[in-house]
A and B are shown apart, each in its own frame.
Chain A
Amino acid sequence: MAPPTSSAVTLHINGEKYTLTVDHRTTLLDALRERLDLTGTKKGCDQGQCGACTVLLDGRRSVACLQLAVAAEGREITTIEGVADGDRLHPVQQAFLDLDGYQCGYCTPGQICSAVAVIEEHAAGWPSAVTEDLRPEAEAPALTADEIRERMSGNLCRCGAYAQIVRAVARAAENVTDEVKEPVA
């Protein structure tokens, strides 16, 4: 007998519970956008190649386009709609707004979710591909422009707002060094 091809699931999103029946083929991205009207998470490529659909799964950044909704049951999901504290923007959101860390805005929710996680991953001592000293006892690298750029590289921005995004992430991380100082505007 063929197994069932859909399941009832309960998804925990931004502190709320959502119960729905999903076709097993439905990705978390499509469940958010087409079933739950949470359209802040964007579909850029649907192949894990652009980062526009970045959400936090159990606090870790992930691409929702390659995450099946049925397999997301039991995990805490945070989308861009759940990043702010009520009406008060998250420091990353505020920095993107103030420093123009975007243009068309389509990659922005993914960039912001990713940046929130990057700041936490860095604080947790995770190295990156540009970290020179990998020894566990080594002092954690500063979140320099190069570190931010490498860690944010899974989020493409075709408008080319990278320079502004790096400055915004640095400001939100309270790590504004001379190299990422903001231009006069």
Chain B
Amino acid sequence: MREFGYQRAHDVAGAVALLGAAPDARLLGGGTNLVDLMKAGVERPGLLVDVRDLPLDEIRATADGGLRIGATVSNSDLAAHPAVRRHYPALTQALLAGASGQLRNMATVAGNLLQRTRCGYFADLAKPCNKRAPGTGCPAVTGDHRNHAILGASVHCVATHPSDMAVALAAFDAVVTYETADGPGELPLDAFYLPVGDTPHIETALPAGAVITGVTLPPVLAAAHSRYRKVRERASYAFAIGSVATALDVRDGVVRDVRLAFGAVASRPWRARAAERVLVGGPADADAFAAAADAELAAAEPLPGNRYKVTLTRNLVVTELARLAEEATR
């Protein structure tokens, strides 16, 4: 870890100014990912701008019935918040399925969105990696890729995004807001994460020098009946090998609204719009759920070592939607 400067920002404008003044500056939130990557030598900032003191730690209801979540709200505060538990339970479940109690206390909402992949090649300077060192190659394609992407990947990178929280946010059409020297901006989560293509090192559409100020959740009726289900290689404290956020609004046996997003299958949270299209307006039964999963996973391009993820994700979609449908009939 190289030597670096440290500044604490006390307001958003100050953070924007500090970030803009040094090309190798990085924002420090909870540090749970950045400090780790600095120790590994993957990140080598010259200046850290500490944003923990920014006045962005509020969660409040919006006028339209949605939720406004500040960028520095901790993962544990967000998970425990009554409005989240009542209106977006899948988000609470996703947060609680992530990391550990200690890390959730430290990690911020913005930091969670911006965390880097946990690909073993990315974190090891002794190995090639297009995401870390563009042009060096992606050894995971022919090497170990048990936990790598099956959707939307490219030959340049098959890494997955590790966030659970972002999968639930993707299902609920969350919008990321930010501030730059040129003024505020916003990005729907779908547009926030960029496709891999041949630039796996460019992960988000966030403009250079932007400071994330928060996430806005629109009101989603179906979200009150939502779940997040995560499968991992031990019962807790591990990254997902497959996960789904599901929300279902069924009335009179007909699907009015459905939300589906997958984790651990792509470089970003994977909103399963093809599957949603199959379901809306149709019956909420096992055949429909399976057809929906198959519609989305038809695009899957698994590698020899991660074909199981297609089966796993399909099974999760079917069982989770069935459970929501069953709850809806109670």
Contact = CB atoms under 8 A, between A and B. Distances in A.
Q: Do chains A and B touch in the complex (CB under 8 A)?
A: yes
Interface of A: 2-5, 7, 23-25, 27, 46-48, 51, 54, 57, 60-63, 66-68, 70-71, 114, 117-118, 121, 124-129, 131, 134-136, 149-151, 153-156
B105 A62 contact: yes
Given A3-B5, A24-B48, A61 B102 contact: yes
Contact of B106 (A62, A150, A153): A62
A150 to B, nearest CB: 6
A47 B40 CA distance: 9
Given A2-B5, A54-B102, 8 more contacts: A24-B4, A25-B4, A68-B31, A114-B101, A118-B101, A125-B80, A127-B85, A151-B101
B106 to A, nearest CB: 5
B52 interface: yes
A154 B4 contact: no
Given A129-B97, A154-B103, A66 B32 contact: yes
Interface in B92-136: 92-93, 96-97, 99-103, 105-106
Interface string B202-246: 000000000000000000000000000000000111000000000
A84 to B, nearest CB: 21
A54 B39 CA distance: 18
A135 B81 CA distance: 10
B1 interface: yes
A136 B237 CA distance: 24
A117 B101 contact: yes
A121 to B, nearest CB: 7
Given A51-B102, A71-B52, A127-B96, A153 B237 contact: yes
Interface residues of B, number: 42
A145 B108 CA distance: 29
B326 interface: no
Given A71-B31, A71-B50, A127-B80, A5 B97 contact: no
A132 to B, nearest CB: 11
B182 interface: no
B76 interface: yes
B220 to A, nearest CB: 16
A48 B101 contact: no
B7 A51 contact: no
A4 B5 contact: yes
Main secondary structure of the interface of A (DSSP, over half): loop
Contacts of A71: 6, 8, 28, 31, 50, 52
Contacts of B176: none
B211 to A, nearest CB: 17
A144 B237 CA distance: 19
A136 B50 CA distance: 33
Interface string B1-28: 1011111100000000000001000001
Nearest to A156: B237
Given A127-B80, A127-B85, A129-B93, A63 B102 contact: yes
A47 B36 contact: yes
B123 to A, nearest CB: 9
A83 to B, nearest CB: 16
B47 interface: yes
B318 interface: no
A58 to B, nearest CB: 9
A67 B31 contact: yes
B36 A48 contact: yes
A62 B102 contact: yes
Nearest to A126: B80
B141 interface: no
B80 A5 contact: no
B89 interface: yes
A48 B103 contact: yes
A74 to B, nearest CB: 9
8 contacts: A66-B35, A67-B35, A71-B52, A129-B97, A134-B92, A134-B93, A135-B85, A153-B235
